[in-house]
Structure 1
Amino acid sequence: MCDNFNGKRVLVTGAGRGIGREIVKQLVAANARVVALSKTQSNLDSLKAEYPSVETICCDLSKWDETTGAVEKAGAIDLLVNNAAFAALTPLGAIDEAIIDRHFAVNIKSVINITQVVAQGMKARGKGGSIVNLSSVAGMIGIKDHLVYGATKAALDNMTKVWALELGQHNIRVNSVNPTVTLTEMGEVGWSDPAVRDPWLAQHPLRRFCQPHDVAHTVLYLLSDKSDMITGAILPIDGGLTCV
């Protein structure tokens, strides 16, 4: 666990709930200055009430110009966590254009948009930085009904590698973390049926799913100087699922 970020400013997208909220919690405990971005004002309000030091930005990441302006106004960012994502698990034959467009708008276009703005500032300041993209095992293996979502996460992993190549000369590191099922509040509900949960769980050698803190611990490590020789990594947090 990385216990001190020395007041560095960290932008976390999708920060209002789930994994993003846990990342904010751990960053605040590690003395980071967190800028939390979410499209849901009520989630930001509750986050601010719990962690008064957090700066908040309410923004719909599917809107390019709105997002660009919001991130530019946020000022200097030392570290970035691209956590926000959209997921609609739809089988082949039921996928329509709107589902595809929504996935790519949030999971790909907004990440490119935000990363371009933040990386430009990092390069201009010349102090390096670290960017962590929240991907998924769905980008690494085929999972039923995950066609569009998995395609965006596979694309995100490739973006991570390209950015690691492009930004390394500026001492900016870029990595992906790829969790399996993560038991956020929504995850607990979605995987509560043993008939659905148990066959999938049996494919994990550790016989358990992720908790939000498992993902957050890994994100903080990759943001920190303790991982200063790691860039371009695609790191599964999956209890061994992808080793089969």
Structure 2
Amino acid sequence: MAGRRALVTGASRGIGAAVAAGLAAAGADVVLSGRDEQALRDVAATLPGTRTAVVAADLADGAAVEHLADTALSVFDGLDILVNNAGVTFPETVAGLSVAAWDATMAVNLRAPALLGARIGAAMAAQGSGSIVNVASLAGLRALAEHYAYSASKAALIMATKVLALELGPRGVRANVVCPTVVLTEMGQQVWGAREKAAPMLARIPLGRFGVPADVADAVVWLSSDAAAMINGAELPLDGGFTVA
């Protein structure tokens, strides 16, 4: 990936930091985005031997998303890879749904990647090539209790990815989506750390474990590369076999 230019959102920790590291290790220049500028700089300082840039942005703010798209495109004079990884979750039952949690979830998990995909995807199409990888969730493929807004946002992101693939594919831009099961990031630990809650989910995963950030990063780097040149509009479960049961 030497010479490729990538934007990774949610890059200050967890999956996003692992994706940024994987892309940099493959030779890509990386723009890291997230809310915590210092944390982004700390991650950037660990990346091997490629150009990096940090653009802090609150993806719950539509204007900030538009600004991020413009800024990221200008840093290295274009982009070849977009990884929409940033996401939030507010676990709550259907009966306990709040307007604030619904709106925040949709803003970050759906509107932000959709806007970035549209703006940056159009720029990629103008140059005739590019790869967009959206990080959705197994909760977008299978209903998950206490994740009403989260599941809805991730299911919609999967379909948005397919529209990107359909419209931008003829102009050389691929769009794919990965759907991880529980990943043991800080957010994953908060929701699934309790053994009594984790056990029923683990029992449904044939491999018998939850994911780690490297599991997702490896898949994202592969989908971003020429090794996946014929893959467009795919949804890739990273679930240890959960969906085969």
Q: TM-score, normalised by structure 2?
A: 0.94
Aligned partner of 2:167: which letter? E
Aligned partner of 2:161: which letter? T
What does residue 137 of structure 1 align with?
A: 138
What does residue 223 of structure 1 align with?
A: 224
Aligned length: 239
Aligned partner of 1:198: which letter? A
Structure 2 residue aligned with 1:81, among 76, 80, 83? Answer: 83
Q: Unaligned 5+ residue runs, structure 1?
A: none
Aligned partner of 2:125: which letter? K
What does residue 59 of structure 1 align with?
A: 57
Structure 1 residue aligned with 2:24, among 28, 47, 71? Answer: 28
Aligned partner of 1:234: which letter? E
Structure 2 residue aligned with 1:98, among 67, 82, 100? Answer: 100
Aligned equivalents of 2:221, 2:174: Cα separation in 1: 13
What does residue 19 of structure 1 align with?
A: 15
Once the two structures are TM-superposed, the CA of residue 186 in structure 1 deviates from its matched residue by 3.7
Aligned equivalents of 1:146, 1:184: Cα separation in 2: 17
188-197 vs 89-98, greater mean Cα deviation = 188-197
- 1:80-119 deviation per Cα after TM superposition (whole angstroms, max 9, x unaligned): 0010111111101111111111011111111121112111
Once the two structures are TM-superposed, the CA of residue 65 in structure 1 deviates from its matched residue by 1.8
Q: Unaligned 5+ residue runs, structure 2?
A: none
3-state SS in 2 of match to 1:55: strand
Once the two structures are TM-superposed, the CA of residue 49 in structure 1 deviates from its matched residue by 2.8
What does residue 171 of structure 2 align with?
A: 170
Aligned equivalents of 1:31, 1:227: Cα separation in 2: 17
Taking every aligned residue pair, what percent have the same amino acid on both sides?
41
What does residue 37 of structure 2 align with?
A: 41
Q: TM-score, normalised by structure 1?
A: 0.94
5 Å-filtered alignment, 1:109-188, equals: 109-126=111-128, 128-188=129-189
Once the two structures are TM-superposed, the CA of residue 189 in structure 1 deviates from its matched residue by 4.9
3-state SS in 2 of match to 1:239: coil
3-state SS in 2 of match to 1:66: helix
Taking only aligned residues, the RMSD between alpha carbons, in angstroms, comes to 1.3
Aligned equivalents of 2:20, 2:44: Cα separation in 1: 11
3-state SS in 2 of match to 1:204: coil
Structure 1 residue aligned with 2:46, among 50, 70, 73? Answer: 50
2:117, 2:164 within 8 Å by CA — same for their partners in 1? Answer: no
What does residue 69 of structure 1 align with?
A: 67
